[in-house]
Chain A
Amino acid sequence: EAGVAQSPRYKIIEKRQSVAFWCNPISGHATLYWYQQILGQGPKLLIQFQNNGVVDDSQLPKDRFSAERLKGVDSTLKIQPAKLEDSAVYLCASSPDRVNTEAFFGQGTRLTVV
């Protein structure tokens, strides 16, 4: 089966600009996650969707980050305006809606804010 698709793979922007990342989860996976991975750290959950509803966005910096999952499939994560400290890899993951299953990760989008 096809894996989690993310685009773009790389993005360089100047601070205060906006940027958007796209994620297409594995077909049929109800749950979708966005993680932020800063260099030298483990991934940190930003937001979790169940179908098209938000389950947890407690660690999402809502003053500048937003995410949506229209129709419960694809998702976009937006940063506006970007700060230098937003430089990181943004990983999307998905999982099926049943217990005792793991999440499957995409290759990520590496964002550099200059």
Chain B
Amino acid sequence: AQSVTQPDIHITVSEGASLELRCNYSYGATPYLFWYVQSPGQGLQLLLKYFSGDTLVQGIKGFEAEFKRSQSSFNLRKPSVHWSDAAEYFCAVGAPGSARQLTFGSGTQLTVLP
């Protein structure tokens, strides 16, 4: 069975600082990988996705993520965080061909200090 681990429950960064959110997955082959963001009272918004090809993927709002097969990781990064980035971030994995049925991690809550 596939699983996702987000080891950091809560991260606090100062505005303008860089950010890295960790995500490790367990899957027998190369899965489809996603990062979603959820603001309070809102649904999930897709930040970026990896299906195949270039292991460094660019997303919306200046986010990027790198797929590292050897480490079973798909960490999310942003070079300079804005106060509006404060939210909860979820990493998710889907089986190729059925990428829409996702297994989510437990999320990382991001706080941004002024």
Interface centre among A33, A42, A93 (most CB of B within 10 A): A42
By a CB distance below 8 angstroms, the chain A residues around B44 are: 43, 91, 93, 105
B101 partner, pick from A45, A101, A108, beta carbons under 8 A: A45
Contact of A43 among B42, B45, B90 (CB under 8 A): B90
- Bound: A90/B3 CA distance, A: 21
Q: Which of A86-114 contact B (CB under 8 A)?
A: 91, 93, 95, 99-108, 110
Please name 12 pairs of A and B residues whose Cβ atoms are closer than 8 Å in the assembled complex, sorted by A. Answer: A42-B4, A42-B107, A43-B102, A55-B101, A91-B44, A93-B100, A95-B100, A101-B99, A102-B34, A102-B100, A105-B43, A105-B45
B residues within 8 Å of A by Cβ? 4, 34, 36, 41-46, 49, 51, 90, 92, 97, 99-107
